[in-house]
Amino acid sequence: MDMGDQGRRMQRSPLLLAPMMLAACIPAETGRAPRPDTPPPRMDADASTARVVEAEPVWTAQQVVANAQNVAGSAYVVQPGDTLRGIGNRTGAGSEMIARANGLVPPYLIRAGQRLTIPGGRYHAVAEGETGIAIAAAYGVPWSRIVEANGLEEPYTLRRGQRLLLPGETPVRPPSMEQRAAAFRIDIDDVVTGGQPAAAENAPVAVASSRPDPLPANVPMAQPGSFAGSFGWPLKGTIVSRFGPGQSGSKNNGIDIAAPMGTPIRAAAGGVVAYAGDKVAVFGGLVLINHGSGWVSAYGHASRVDVVRGQKVAKGQVIGLTGDTGYASTPKLHFELRKDRTPVDPVGKLPPA
């Protein structure tokens, strides 16, 4: 069944407002999003931050076990035959963090007798299929802080066996599920940077395809090429909420365009679908497209999603239909543009209406 068939058959269901089961992160690519029973927040405010509250994740991302190892800071003298990754495995510290602590750059050459600083801290060993967001949720730590602590860069692909440094003090006792859920938030930036499942060392890199076939969870997603930043309108309609501070003072990271239910949503530019699903509660049906050169576009509140992760799309291609899913009281499209993870006012990048 393709995404269109799934979307057409989906029914509304109440949003489960309970502590999140910290077993996975952004779940399966589906079409119709659940709607909350409680009154939605004003959408002239910032709609880019939401708590994930699903209780039965159905994505295939590997469940994360919070079994981080505490590593004491130390020094290590390189022995003949050592590799940086082997030293990381032996000490329990991440090889990437050892490289950063010692100013090593690719191809990370080391020599026998060299004295290396081993940075201490809590390290999580990544298992195949785990995502960054799922790891963050398991420890109740914002994914953005893990990205910063480890110096992760685009395309943010994790690998099996990689050791991630967890920021913050070592807790006296592990936080409860409720504490982790209360501390965990997710936004569009988290989906872009932390939604890619960790791959095995020899996992194939996906080749973007125009066919709507789901990409296997542990296959690194293809990355688009360079992009000059030329966008088209995703649909025609009235802008009901503009970029920047709203009446309440909260910031909107995009624009909201009113349009009749079922209006086709078109890709603002060509690229590769980075996410397509309905598990970021505030946005309901959501599509993220990676255009290359640091540009990402987001399309929220869709009633139907017609693309899947890893699919190549062309500018103007229909990727779904408008709706009032998530925290939307009327049919509309929430549209965002981001350059190097920073929200950009879409109106300034679109042709005159």
Are 226 and 345 members of one domain?
A: yes
Is 170 part of a structural domain of the chain?
no
Write down which residue in 103, 119, 135 finishes a domain.
119
Q: Is residue 277 part of a domain?
A: yes
Query: Quick one: pLDDT at residue 155?
Result: 76
Which residues does 45 contact at the CB level (< 8 Å), separation at least 6?
A: 246, 248, 250, 251, 252
List the domain range (segments joined by +) for residue 103: 73-119
**Which of the listed residues 55, 86, 119 is the one where a domain comes to its end?**
119
Q: Are 106 and 213 within one domain?
A: no
**Residue 92 is assigned to a structural domain of this protein:** yes
pLDDT, one tens digit for every residue, the chain (353 residues): 444 444 433 333 332 222 232 233 333 344 444 443 434 433 333 344 333 333 333 333 457 889 999 999 999 999 999 999 999 999 999 999 999 999 999 889 999 999 999 999 999 999 988 889 889 988 888 899 999 999 998 778 899 999 999 998 655 566 665 555 555 566 788 777 887 778 776 655 555 566 666 666 556 666 787 888 799 999 999 999 999 987 766 789 999 999 999 999 999 999 999 889 886 778 889 999 999 998 999 999 999 999 998 899 999 999 999 999 988 999 999 999 999 889 999 999 999 97
* pLDDT for the residue 219: 64
Q: What was the pLDDT predicted at 12?
A: 36
- Domain assignment present for residue 4? The answer is no
The CATH number covering residue 99 comes to 3.10.350.10
Task: Using DSSP bridges, classify how beta strands 121-125 and 163-166 pair: parallel, antiparallel or unpaired.
Answer: antiparallel
CA pair distance 300, 291, nearest whole angstrom: 17
CA distances in angstroms from 194 to 144, 152, 209, listed in the order given: 9, 10, 22
The number of distinct structural domains making up the chain is 2
Is 1 inside any structural domain? no
- Establish if 218 belongs to a structural domain: yes
Distance CA(252)–CA(242), nearest Å, equals 7
pLDDT given at position 170: 57
Q: Given this model, what pLDDT does residue 131 score?
A: 87
Residue 148 belongs to some domain of the structure: no
Tokens of 3: 């995404």
> Of 85, 119, 153, which marks where a domain is finished?
119
